[in-house]
Structure 1
Amino acid sequence: MEIQEDILYSIRKELHQYPEISGEEYETQNRILRFLKQNAKCKLKKVAKTGLVAVFEGKEEGKTVLLRADIDALPIQEINTFEYKSKKVGVSHKCGHDGHTAIMLGVATTLTKNPILKGKVLLLFQPSEENGKGASLVLQDNFFINLSIDYVFALHNLPGFKKHEIVLKNKVFTSNVKSISIKLKGKTAHAAEPEKGYNPASAIAVILLFAERESNNKPEAKDFFLMTPVYVTMGEKAYGISAGYGEVHFTLRSWSTDLIEEKRKQLRELVIQLSNNYSLESEVFWFEEFYANKNDDQAVSIIKKSAESLNLPINEILTPFKWGEDFGLFTQKYKGAMFGLGAGKNTPALHNPDYDFPNEIIPTGVQLFDKIVKEVLHS
């Protein structure tokens, strides 16, 4: 299969130079749109404001397969100095979504050169993956509401694994992740007379101890649960004042949807109890919610067979990844799977300021997605 590697490397570097954070991917959408109009023959549909779907249809009816690439960047200042470094202060592609997008554009050019004869292929360029909002926005779009999809697939590049290695796992591939902020409002008082006010310190301490006590940071365990404190604040640097306001933020992670819901309920009840005990007003906000990627056995089998036909190295892992991925919402609704594409043993980790997606794995991603499509549509 012929792949125009130079053109894909070029668009990847262009996307890297002009990153956009979740919900603001308007110019990224335009760059993808221009590329597809110049290099592919397909129907194009804007979705979820800043997303895009490229539709390839065969002449005969058949199965429908969706492939997803995420397109948003992160609010991280890049420290790399190469010529195509980010031109936007404080924003950069530190999760490799520029590479994921380039791979999907390569799939589009491949499907143009070798059109499918039956069925339908949807290439989704999804916005807002990093904040957990994109998948939901896409699935609520009118284009998707009544759409029948047989399989969904997505990949994520994985530093720490050999380049071109295909990382597979049945069942859970990534964790459920929920973020929470707990705001506690009391009443200030003189620091010499704290009993005349309502200080949130004791309540915050109990919540922090709850997080430590309930966490079971053993990824190999079925009841893995991790509640990580990410932000705590209270009062002011005014040493004559007993604090009257505080807040604490966490991320919650678990393989099990039921377990994470159980912990959410316990936490909610604890906050209510503490608010009553310490005469505090409480506000609880849940956000950046990611559903676990539930890999279907048959979908994983399709990926494995496709990778074997390309003689790609396969690594079948035993333990899921603890990070969240917005594609999980698709695998909750449709039969499908997410897999990993090794980005190099010594490649900087995802979300690190010196990370950069390795161009050389782009053709691997294109070839494997193309094989997966053929395997689904011809089966």
Structure 2
Amino acid sequence: MSPIDRIQGYADELTAIRRDLHAHPELGFEEVRTSGIVAEQLEAFGVAVHRGIGKTGVVGVLEGRPGKRRIGLRADMDALPITEETNLPYRSTNSGKMHACGHDGHTTMLLGAARYLAETRDFDGTAVFVFQPAEEGLGGARAMIADGLFEKFPVDEIFAIHNQPNGPHGRLMVRPGPAMAAADFFDIRITGRGAHAAQPHESVDPIVVATAIAQAMQSIVSRNADPLKSAVVSITQIHAGAAYNVIPQGAHIAGTARTFDPALRQLVGQRIREIAEGIAAAHGARVEVEIRDVFTVLDNSPEQAAAAAEIAAEILGADNVDSDCTPRMGSEDFADMLRIVPGAYAWLGATPGPGLHNAGFDFDDSLLPLGAAFLARVVQRRSTV
């Protein structure tokens, strides 16, 4: 029996797990309940479980037939600080927290693959299941790596999958080489001089400074970046003030910059600093700029990317595979694992609906057996290379 047929037989159980995780989302490094469920499920399958890797991470190890190859599969577990705006019966019960990126589905797909492999033992060598915390910009992959992930649980290669809510449904997309952008997070803290709103001449208005900086930063991509190289600069937060009649003392701007090219990444950071410092000085304000390297470029190994496409064609059909998809400006900290171990990261198209990081998003449960079967077949095929 093929993986997809067998896993379809317990698809309803996978859906129940996924919806339970959706109803109880936990932010990065807080995935205590989630990791507990993962560990309990793995133990019930007969998988050796190791907890507390990278704080709340879980690693499962399963032995198949005698063999030297060790294949890693990874899923992320954390939710986002978003208030859910759906009327689903299993909507979030944790205020201000939501699985708006589908990590509940990724975790469940990997559990489905682990169950199949544990029940059949139809593979050579060792399967290593990595359930990672804190993917959403908090450094969960780096935490697991620093905690000795690949020293304690060495693998020859590693694979991961992410849902793609704009479809096409059931289509797997992968590409060799750079596939997702590097990301920096920035914080710009402006200190001016507060005053009564009726006496603005006595102030150094940090809101005026913040808006001038925000406007000027839009010129970085249009006027500083090579138009043939991709870059995104997005301001996602502006905080200032708490009253109608008070010019505040300070303001805070935050956001992200995305690039593929190292030189362009450096240029974007330099221009953020120059613009913020120059405009602040022109207004008589002070400014502090912090730029943090959060994600590196996700670089798929050519051999593993080709293997992922070939395996997907077997599971999903050749017409449902795009083996050279367009690179994405989104970022993913699986990139840090791929810097140490060769592997590949792919996307699986869902029934089109609200996008990732949207308050109306919900994971497409019909992907659970498809993704689980793909991951299980990766272990079967790559363990005999």
State the TM-score, normalized to the length of structure 2: 0.87
| TM-fit CA distance, 1:226 | 1.4
- Structure 1 234/367 Cα, relative in aligned 2: closer, same or farther at 3 Å? closer
CA distance in 1: counterparts of 2:183 and 2:77, whole angstroms:
20
Map residues 136-155 of structure 1 onto 2, 5 A cutoff: 136-145=142-151, 148-155=154-161
Return 351-360 or 146-155, whichever deviates more.
146-155
Are the counterparts in 2 of residues 56 and 116 from structure 1 also a CA contact under 8 Å?
no
Corresponding position of 1:80: 86
SS of 1:87's equivalent in the other structure is coil
| Matched position secondary structure for 1:64 | strand
Task: Map 1:222-301; keep pairs closer than 5 Å.
Answer: 222-234=228-240, 237=243, 244-287=249-292, 289-301=294-306
Change (3 A) 1:349 1:302: same
Give 1:1-379 correspondences, 5 Å limit: 1=2, 2-3=6-7, 4-58=10-64, 60-115=66-121, 118-145=124-151, 148-188=154-194, 198-200=204-206, 203-216=209-222, 222-234=228-240, 237=243, 244-287=249-292, 289-312=294-317, 313-316=320-323, 318-344=325-351, 346-379=352-385
Task: Tell me how far apart the structure 2 counterparts of residues 266 and 32 of structure 1 sit (CA, whole Å).
Answer: 44
Question: Could you report, residue by residue, the CA deviation over 1:253-303 in whole angstroms, capped at 9, with x for unpaired residues?
Answer: 122233112211232244444455544332223358222211111111000
Work out the CA distance in 1 between the residues paired with 2:347 and 2:379.
17
Q: CA deviation at 1:125?
A: 0.8
- 8 A Cα contact 1:21 1:74, kept in partner: yes
The one-letter code matched in structure 2 to 1:230 is T
Change (3 A) 1:368 1:216: farther
* Secondary structure of 1:12 counterpart: helix
Instruction: Indicate if the aligned counterparts of 2:159 and 2:343 stay in contact, CA closer than 8 A.
Output: yes
Q: Kindly provide the amino acid, as one letter, of the partner of residue 315 in structure 1.
A: D
Using the TM superposition, give the Cα deviation of residue 78 of structure 1 relative to its aligned residue in structure 2, in angstroms. 2.5
Aligned CA distance change for structure 1 residues 174 and 303 (closer, same or farther; 3 Å): same
User: CA offsets, 1:332-379, max 9 Å, x none?
Assistant: 3321111011111x3222222232212221111111112212222111
Q: Is the 8 A contact 1:43 1:54 kept in 2?
A: yes
Distance 1:243 1:45, change over 3 A: closer
The 3 A distance-change label for structure 1 pair 216 and 293 is farther
Per mean C-alpha deviation after superposition, the further-off stretch among 324-333 and 291-300 is 324-333
Q: CA deviation at 1:67?
A: 0.9
Do the aligned partners of residues 232 and 356 (structure 1) sit closer, same or farther apart at CA in structure 2, a change above 3 Å counting? closer
Contact 1:132 1:325 in 2 (8 A): no
Q: Secondary structure at the match of 1:310?
A: helix
Root-mean-square deviation (Å): 2.8
Mapped to 2, the partners of 1:266 and 1:354 lie a distance apart of 35
What residue ranges of structure 2 are gaps of 5+ in the alignment? Answer: none
Amino acid at match of 1:141: D
Structure 1 gaps, min length 5: none
**2: CA distance, partners of 1:236 / 1:16:** 34
Q: Distance in 2 between matches of 1:305 and 1:347?
A: 28
Cα contact 1:181–1:286 (8 A) shared by 2: yes
Please give the per-residue CA displacement for 1:202-243, whole angstroms capped at 9, x wherever unaligned: 6435532432111259x996511111122224456565x665
Is the contact between residue 68 and residue 125 of structure 2 (CA under 8 Å) also seen in structure 1?
yes
Amino acid in the other structure paired with 1:62: K
Deviation at 1:29?
A: 0.9
One-letter code of the match for 2:257? L
Deviation, 1:197, is: 5.0
Instruction: Answer with 367-376 or 76-85: which moved more.
Output: 76-85
CA distance in 2, matches of 1:30, 1:181: 34
The one-letter code of the counterpart of 2:100 is K
* Amino acid paired to 2:331: G
Identity of aligned residues (%): 27
User: Which stretch has the larger CA shift, 90-99 or 203-212?
Assistant: 203-212
Instruction: Give the CA deviation at 1:167.
Output: 1.1
Tell me whether 2-11 or 186-195 shows the greater mean CA deviation: 186-195
